[in-house]
A and B are shown apart, each in its own frame.
Chain A
Amino acid sequence: MNPVSIRNIAKWYGEIAGLNKVSLELQPGITGLVGSNGAGKSTLMKILTGQLKPSCGQSLIYGMDVWKTPLVRQRLGYAPEGDTFYEDMTVLAFVRAMGHLSGLGKSADRFAREALEKTGAIEFSDKRLRACSKGMRQRTKLAQALVHKPDILVLDEPLSGIDAGGRREILRLFEELASTGVTLIISSHILDEIEAVTSRIVFMAQGQVIASGCLTEVRGLLKNHPQKLLITSNAPRKLGSRLLESGLVTGVVFNQQEAGVREEDIVLRVPQVERFYRELPDLVIELDITIERLIPLDSSAEAVFGYLMENETEGHE
């Protein structure tokens, strides 16, 4: 059984569709939720955590409807996007209280300290929340979501406001949690960072899932956007013309003025990436050349999201 099953969910706010027929099956590990503002990410997360009731469809946590079965929320941790707290409480008191509310009883204090340790918030655990910086508050928010050691963590923009060093620590923590079988659902605007910890991404736009799965798979499905590959060899012209001849590429650009592109590099437009990778070794042997480097230029989450959004816009036009 998948930890999270979202089945045909729609959410209407009057005549506006917040979510429209969204279905997802999420497995343990990290899943990134990507979309621009108003794409429906937060609505999906609120439905997933039982704060909103879907207009139709079901949101299941380990097979149980999260809206109808409150007890299942014991297996759920949630860090909201909003920067709001019980401001007069200290960091430790807040996380401990959330632990008590999650059913930890007498262990709440120990678990709270552990969670604060994990998120790097233990140093300022005696500080009042109103006196904490944005980064400290983000860490506290994460700690309250983690305190009861949930199986599923839903984190809305967990990295915003945290400095670069802190982000690395938090991302390491996410990877650590994922390796222990926790299901993490992370929304973020910082696609590079999501990409650094997972290749499983759900792309959302206008209340719908426009693509989901492994990033390379999603990229491969974008047939109308041939992939850009940078290739460095000892015979760029020879290789370029042979690749065009073979039909493996639809375009070859020499001396492309782009960051990181050198004079001896060529940029290829590859319509079928799998076929390209399969046939390239034979071609290299045939031409008796050496390949120094081969880098995909537009397979990042950001580039894929950009193409998906282009497709969406064209589709609507």
Chain B
Amino acid sequence: MNSWLYLVYFSFRRQLRPQRLVVSFILFVAIALLVGLMGLTNPWSVQGFARWILGLPFCRFFLPIITLTLGAAIIGDDREDKTLVYLTVRPFSRWSLYLAKVLGSIPLALGIAVGAFFGICITASICGGLSSPLGTVTWLFLPTIILGTLAYLTFFGWLGTVFRNATLIGIAHVFLVELFMSQTPGVLKRISISFYVRCMLYDAGKEYGVGPRNKVVFQPVDGGDAAMALIAIAVGFLLLGMFWFSRHEYRDLT
């Protein structure tokens, strides 16, 4: 058990690569600048902030991209660097090895996502005079950010176990599915994670008038259902990744 816990810690340490943190920081600065500039010209309302910042660049671009960089690296980094061999010869079952690596990545993914979320909320308060008290807005949307992060992370983690070029496939997924397809009318958008993230977001902020621009076109699901869907996606892809990794042989380990 101790060695497995060490593997969780070791995986966390391996994820702390400066270049990864730099990418997250640049994206955060870009969104924070956008929040600041927009807030200076037109003060923020909770509704506008949730729709134009959280619903768009944050949940459909920032979250997928940072979880992609971390998720695809869960197995992908070791596979690419050919260091996976040092882990697979240790006394862990394959599924537990994968689980440890995912658990080791969660604190960093949540840290970056929640940290950036707090950061843009503060920026909106300072630069745009967000009408509602900062704390209220933050706690209102925090569960959405957490569940969205977990769902994206486990999805991209699974992608990394299946495909060697998971990052490229992940980027294509972010642009085609999470950004483009989630805009289309009809039920096809329900295959995107961002759809459930936005449903949860809209539901959480409904008392502040937060919601989709066109409810008929968007066809949202209930906030509770969206939360359940995100939990199911997170747990489902975690289990799928564990199953896949336990069955899959990597001939290119060394």
Contact = CB atoms under 8 A, between A and B. Distances in A.
Interface of A: 13, 42, 46, 49-53, 70-74, 76, 78, 80-82, 84-87, 97-98, 100-105, 144, 156
B92 A70 contact: yes
B254 A103 contact: no
B2 to A, nearest CB: 5
A50 B3 contact: no
A70 B251 contact: no
B5 to A, nearest CB: 9
Given A82-B253, A82-B254, A103-B91, 9 more contacts: A51-B88, A70-B93, A78-B85, A84-B83, A86-B14, A98-B90, A101-B3, A101-B90, A105-B3
B11 to A, nearest CB: 11
Interface residues of B, number: 24
A50 B89 contact: yes
Contact of A49 (B6, B89, B94): B89
Given A46-B253, A70-B91, A98 B86 contact: yes
Nearest to B84: A51
Contact of B249 (A52, A82, A84): A52
Contact of B254 (A74, A80, A104): A80
B82 interface: yes
B81 interface: yes
Interface in B65-114: 81-83, 85-94
B90 A102 contact: yes
Given A70-B93, A73-B90, A51 B249 contact: yes
Contacts of B86: 86, 98, 101, 144
Nearest to B97: A70
Interface string B240-254: 000000000111011
Contacts of B81: 84, 86-87
B6 to A, nearest CB: 4
B27 interface: no
A51 B253 contact: yes
B251 A52 contact: yes
Contacts of B3: 100-105
B10 interface: yes
Contacts of B249: 51-53
Contact of B6 (A46, A74, A100): A100
B83 A86 contact: yes
Given A70-B93, A82-B82, A84-B81, A101 B6 contact: yes
A103 B2 contact: yes
Closest 9 CB pairs of A and B: A82-B254, A84-B82, A80-B254, A100-B6, A103-B3, A74-B91, A73-B91, A78-B89, A101-B90
18 contacts: A46-B253, A52-B249, A52-B251, A73-B89, A80-B253, A82-B85, A86-B14, A98-B86, A100-B2, A100-B6, A101-B3, A101-B6, A101-B7, A101-B87, A102-B90, A103-B3, A105-B2, A156-B254
Contact of B88 (A50, A103, A144): A50
Nearest to A74: B91
A287 to B, nearest CB: 59
B10 A76 contact: no
Contacts of A81: 254
A71 B3 CA distance: 12
Contacts of A86: 14, 81, 83, 86
Given A84-B254, A103-B2, A51 B83 contact: no
A205 to B, nearest CB: 21
Interface in B1-55: 2-3, 6-7, 10, 14
Contacts of B10: 97, 100-101
Nearest to A86: B83
A13 B6 CA distance: 34
A49 B250 CA distance: 13
Nearest to A45: B254
Nearest to A97: B10
Contacts of A46: 253
Contacts of A84: 81-83, 85, 254
Nearest to A49: B89
Nearest to B94: A70
A249 to B, nearest CB: 48
Contacts of B91: 70-74, 102-103
Nearest to A68: B93
Contacts of A105: 2-3
Contacts of B87: 101
A85 B83 contact: yes
